[in-house]
């Protein structure tokens, strides 16, 4: 009996090791278009999937939407936004991409946009949405959507300089209702939020204090808001590599925190770290081919795609590559 138990234990260990080997054998790879078409490079922008197409939109200056067809593997350019909009996390509702609490203008005195802006992917057109309550204006927030309600967390009001917010708000797309919810445990900007199991995970980021401490005050704590109970908590295990300007998403019962920037190095971070939603522990994924910050990531056919962003701390260079994991 003991012999068979030992065999079972050995077999289980071999299976586990094989799974880990296959996981780490998988790497990020650069994706090239079939016709050499390119997107418009940008940073402090967004990258989302809508109806089996990818959309790279926003960023500093007014730049057209870049649209990628993963089936044909080609890029085309779409419409330009009516205003400069950057430092935002978009949400998708039906065929629309909603941009709520973005910044506009030049570093370090950017100002919050007073209205919501919506990009319709079917008509390739932009429209101005409702006015955001004046007493809740800010940018660089973490936004998620559940059942047509957008949750907007934290952010900064005075560009990269000051007035960091702990706020959490909700915006009901169907009714137009804006509501204030309990404050987060701490303020942060340059981060992303992720929705998983009716909870909002707020990860990465910093408290920007330009010009002398723009990149210094990164945040390792992960704050979690339970939509059902309307309560916040902070998990025990901090983000292993503290950084801001991250990309984050839910992937196979984990939350991945990808890339970013910090004072620890000039080059943008290439680290990819995963939070297990059951154990609330971290593990590492293969690193990006090119470290980057200030963009987004999306999932298609069980693969993660990420495009553009900045390759160094700050605004340059704007990368012209897309990667897939």
- C-alpha–C-alpha distance, residues 33 and 251, integer Å: 25
15 has a pLDDT exceeding 80:
no
CA distance 243 to 126: 32
Q: Give residue 120's pLDDT.
A: 98
Rg (CA), the chain: 20
Length of the chain as a residue count: 325
pLDDT band at 262 (very low <50, low <70, confident <90, very high): very high
Kindly report the pTM of this predicted structure: 0.92
pLDDT at position 212 is 96
**What is the predicted pLDDT for the residue at 19?**
46
φ, ψ for residue 148, nearest 5 deg: 80, 5
Task: Please confirm whether the linkage preceding 307 is cis (ω < 30° from 0).
Answer: no
Token couple for 105: 């203008």
Average confidence (pLDDT) over 191-197: 98
pLDDT given for residue 14 in this prediction: 42
Alpha helices (H) along the chain: 2-25
191-230 burial code (b ≥16 CB/10 A, e <16): bbbbbbeebbbbbbbbbbbeeeebbebbbebbbbbebeee
Q: So what's the pLDDT on residue 190?
A: 98
Is it the case that residue 322 has pLDDT exceeding 90?
A: yes
Share of the chain above pLDDT 90, in %: 92
DSSP letter, residue 136: G
Q: Which tokens sit at 186?
A: 């701490």
Residue holding tokens 């169907």? 174
pLDDT at residue 204, as a whole number: 98
Q: What is the dihedral of CA 73, 79, 80, 85, to 10 degrees?
A: -70
* pLDDT, tens only, 134-161: 999 999 999 999 999 999 999 999 999 9
The residue to which tokens 């971290």 are assigned: 282
The mean per-residue pLDDT over the stretch 229-239 comes to 98
Residue 55 to residue 69: CA distance in whole angstroms: 9
**What pLDDT score does 24 carry?**
53
Exposed/middle/buried for residue 94 (C-beta within 10 Å: 0-12, 13-18, 19+): exposed
Q: List, for residues 38-61, the tens digit of each pLDDT value.
A: 999 999 999 999 999 999 999 999
d(CA 58, CA 84): 7
| Token pair listed for 49 | 């999937």
pLDDT-derived band at 200, boundaries 50, 70, 90? very high
Helix (H, G, I), strand (E, B) or coil at 190: coil
Answer yes or no: is pLDDT of 8 > 80: no
Query: What span, in angstroms and rounded, lies between the C-alpha atoms of 127 and 26?
Result: 41
CATH of segment(s) 31-324 = 2.120.10.80
Q: What is the mean pLDDT of residues 124-142?
A: 98
If you ran DSSP here, which 8-state letter would residue 128 be given?
A: E
| Pair of tokens at residue 212 | 């002398």
The predicted pLDDT at position 149 comes to 98
Residue 66 confidence class, pLDDT cut points 50, 70, 90: very high
Other CB atoms within 10 Å distance of the CB of residue 6: 10
Beta-bridge partner residues of 203:
192
Q: Which stretch of DSSP H or E encloses residue 76?
A: strand 74-77
Average pLDDT over residues 54-75: 98
As given in the structure block, the two tokens for residue 78 are 């779409």
Q: What is the pLDDT of residue 10?
A: 43
234 closest CA partner among 168, 296, 184, 282:
184
Q: Give CA angle at 153 (120, 125), nearest 5°.
A: 10
Residue 192 has pLDDT above 80, yes or no: yes
């Amino acid at each position: 009996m003991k012999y068979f138990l030992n065999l079972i234990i050995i077999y289980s260990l071999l299976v586990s090791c094989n799974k880990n080997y296959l996981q780490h054998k998988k790497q990020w790879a650069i994706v090239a278009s079939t016709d050499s078409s390119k997107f418009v490079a940008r940073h402090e922008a967004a990258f989302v999937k809508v109806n089996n197409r990818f959309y790279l939109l926003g960023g500093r200056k007014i730049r057209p939407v870049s649209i990628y067809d993963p089936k044909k593997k080609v890029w085309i350019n779409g419409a330009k936004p009516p205003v400069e909009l950057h430092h935002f996390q978009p949400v998708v509702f039906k065929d629309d991409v909603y941009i709520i609490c973005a910044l506009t203008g030049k570093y370090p005195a950017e100002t919050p946009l007073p209205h919501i802006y919506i990009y319709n992917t079917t008509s390739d057109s932009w429209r101005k949405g409702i006015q955001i309550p004046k007493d809740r204006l800010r940018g660089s927030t973490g936004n998620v959507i559940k059942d047509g309600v957008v949750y907007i967390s934290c952010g900064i009001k005075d560009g990269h300089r000051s007035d960091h917010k702990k706020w959490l708000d909700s915006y009901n797309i169907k009714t137009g209702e804006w509501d204030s919810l309990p404050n987060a445990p701490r303020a942060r900007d340059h981060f992303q939020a992720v929705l998983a199991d009716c909870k909002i995970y707020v990860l990465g980021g910093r408290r920007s204090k330009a010009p002398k401490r723009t990149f210094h005050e990164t945040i390792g704590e992960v704050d979690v808001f339970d939509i059902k109970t309307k309560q916040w908590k902070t998990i025990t295990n901090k983000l292993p590599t503290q950084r801001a300007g991250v990309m984050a998403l839910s992937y196979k019962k984990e939350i991945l925190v990808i890339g970013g920037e910090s004072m620890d190095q000039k080059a943008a971070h290439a680290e990819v770290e995963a939070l297990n939603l059951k154990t609330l522990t971290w593990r590492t994924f293969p690193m990006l081919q090119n470290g980057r910050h200030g963009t987004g990531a999306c999932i298609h056919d069980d693969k993660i795609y990420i495009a553009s962003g900045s390759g160094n701390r700050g605004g340059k260079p704007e990368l012209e590559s897309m990667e897939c994991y």
